[in-house]
Structure 1
C-alpha cells in the first residue's frame, strides 16, 4: 500500500506523523541535486512561497512561481488553468517552500493528481541559499535590493 493509501485507511493523525508518512513516499532532493536537474532540463522547480518571502529573500532563477493555493490547478496537465510548463504527468516537479515542510505536503498532493515524479527540496529555499546556489533578488519600489536597503524601503 502506498503512503497516501495508508493515510486514508488509518484515519486522523497529527501533522508530524502525517509529514513523516508523506515523506516516505517521496524521493526528496538536496539543493545541489535540484539545481543540477533543473539546469539539465530534467526537473521543473516550483516555488510555492508566498509573496512576502519571495520579496524578502529573492527567487530561484528559472523556477516557476505558483503560490500554494493555486498549485494543483496550475500543474494538473489535464486542467483548464494549467501552466504551460505542466506538460505531462511524467514531469519531474521539485516543489520549493521556505524550509521544506509545506513542500512535502504539496508534492504528495500533486502525486494524488498523477504527477508520480513530484517531490520536494529538502530544507526548501533556505537550504538552496545556504548551499550558495543562484538567487535573484527582487527590486523594492523599483530600486535594486541594495539601494532599497540603503534608503530604508525594505
Structure 2
C-alpha cells in the first residue's frame, strides 16, 4: 500500500488484512511521543547498526542475519514490548517485513500496525532508498552507530 493511500497520511490507520492497519511514519512518531503505542524495529541487528535506528524503539528482529532465517525469539520479544497493553507499530527497512511481523503479532493476540515506507523507504529510479518515503525521508529522529 502506498503511503498516501487511505487515511495513513492523515494520521488515521489505513485498513489492512490480518493486522490493525497501515500508518505513516509521522503518525508512528506522534503516537510514540504521546505514549499511545510502542515502536518495534523488526530489522536485523546489522541493519540497525550499519544503517541507523530510532531512539526509544524496541527491537524484535523478524529475521536474523546472516541467512535471514525467522527469529525464534520474535514472539517473546513482541510480547515483552506489548507488556503494558499498548499497540505495537512495526518498522522494517521498507515496510514489507513489518507487514509479516504485524500479522504475526496480531496472531499472538496483540494489536499491531505496519509503518509504511519503513525506515529507509522504497527505492527510487536509481535504486536508492531514503528519497521517496519512510522514516528518514520524513525527517523524523534517528541515529547512526
TM-score (norm 2): 0.69
Corresponding residue for residue 62 of structure 1: 56
Residue 76 of structure 2 corresponds to residue 73 of structure 1: yes
Corresponding residue for residue 101 of structure 1: 96
Q: Kindly indicate which of the two structures has a greater share of residues assigned to helix.
A: 1
Q: Give the aligned CA root-mean-square deviation in angstroms.
A: 1.7
Corresponding residue for residue 34 of structure 1: 28
Number of residue pairs matched by the alignment: 108
1:92 to 81, 87, 92: 87
Higher Rg of the two aligned structures: 1
- Could you tell me how far 1:47 is from its partner in structure 2? 0.4
- Could you tell me how far 1:91 is from its partner in structure 2? 2.2
Corresponding residue for residue 5 of structure 2: none
Q: Which ranges of structure 2 fall in alignment gaps of 5 or more residues?
A: 1-14, 63-70, 121-133
Corresponding residue for residue 122 of structure 1: 116
Residue 126 of structure 2 corresponds to residue 131 of structure 1: no
Q: Which ranges of structure 1 fall in alignment gaps of 5 or more residues?
A: 1-21, 77-82, 139-154
**Structure 1: how far apart are the matches of 2:40 and 2:118?**
11
1:23–1:104 contact (8 Å) kept in structure 2: no
Change (3 A) 1:34 1:73: same
2:39–2:90 contact (8 Å) kept in structure 1: yes
